[in-house]
Every structure is written in structure tokens, then in C-alpha cells.
Amino acid sequence: MSLVRAAVGIAVAIAAACALYFFCVLPYRCNVVKKARLRSTEYAFDQGATTAGRIAARRNLDALLPCMTSICNDVSLDMLAAANYRILGQPEAAIQLYRDALRRDRRPEIYVNLAMTELAVGDRNAARDHALRAVLFNTGMLASLDDGLLRAETAKKLIELYPAKAEYIRYFQNFGATQ
């Protein structure tokens, strides 16, 4: 009987160690990676299409991809990876990551980034739809739309839906235009 108890004790200890690793250590490690790669992604985005920006984006993806598992399941990692794919000139991969992130969490900033990426590949209709979804969540996201025509089209559609809020909507439309 003591042999069975010892085997059960060992099995419980192994299960506890695995649970500790998968639910505590791995997410913590991925959060540390995410924090470091956020700054590096901002640098890469500022550098744009330069060699330094592309190298930083590639390094960011190499660090982020191991954390992008079903265990970590953090949409922020998907958004960072998508931004790095955009820097590397791979908008289709970025679009796929944004769509995957939207399946798990419907954040307005994901819709804005998806709209801007779709606009870059020439899919203006999809960009309009996603931009409208973003501003329906949060009217302030109108200021985040970099394309002036898309911002104007989205504001017009939003005013059609909510005419009583026209001045409020125009404020964010113009706020985005002055930045």
C-alpha cells in the first residue's frame, strides 16, 4: 500500500509542477517578452522600411512566436506580431493575426489596425467596415485612423447612424486630422 501512496504522491507532485509551469511560469515569461518587444516594436515601426527597422521586426517575431500558443492566449502578442509583419511587408500575415485576435477579444484598437492593414493591401470595403466597427465601440478611435479619406467616410457613416452626436463625432474626426 505504501508503494501505491508513493506513486500517487509522485504523480501529484509532477502534475503540480507541470501546472505551475504552464499556468504561472510560462505566462510570466511571455509577459516579460511582451514588455520588451513592445518597446522594440515601437522602435521598428518608427524606423519603417529601413534595414534597422526590419532587423528589429524580425527579432521581435522570433521572440514573440514561441509565446503565441493556446496556453498564453494573449491577443496583445498577436497585435505585436501583426505590427511586426506589417513592418516586414507581410500584410496578409498581419491581417490573419488581427482576425485571430478578434475571434478571442473584440477590442476597437484591433479593428483599427486591421482596417489600416486592409487599406494598405487595397481592400477599402473591408477597411471601411472594420473602421466603422472600431468607432462604434469607441468614437475616439476615429482619431486613430491615419487615412484622411477613411476617417471622413467613417465619420459620415457614424453621423448617419447617430445624428444627435454629430458635433462629438466631428471633434474626433478633426482631432485625428490635426495630429
Q: Is 48 left (phi over 0), alpha (psi -120 to 50) or beta?
A: left
Per-residue pLDDT at 70 exceeds 90: no
Q: State the average pLDDT for the chain.
A: 88
Confidence bin at 178 (pLDDT 50/70/90): low
Summarised one tens digit per residue, pLDDT across range 119-159 is 999 999 999 999 999 999 999 899 899 888 999 999 999 99
Summarised one tens digit per residue, pLDDT across range 163-176 is 998 888 888 888 75
What CA–CA distance (Å, rounded) separates 100 from 67? 15
What CA–CA distance (Å, rounded) separates 175 from 144? 9
Q: No. of H helices and E strands in the chain?
A: 9, 0
What CA–CA distance (Å, rounded) separates 59 from 40? 9
Residue 176 in grid coordinates: 485625428
Summarised one tens digit per residue, pLDDT across range 29-44 is 888 888 989 899 999 8
* Residue ranges per structural domain of the chain: 26-105, 106-179
State the pTM of this model: 0.82
Q: Grid cell 485625428 — which residue?
A: 176
Cβ atoms 74, 117 nearer than 8 A: no
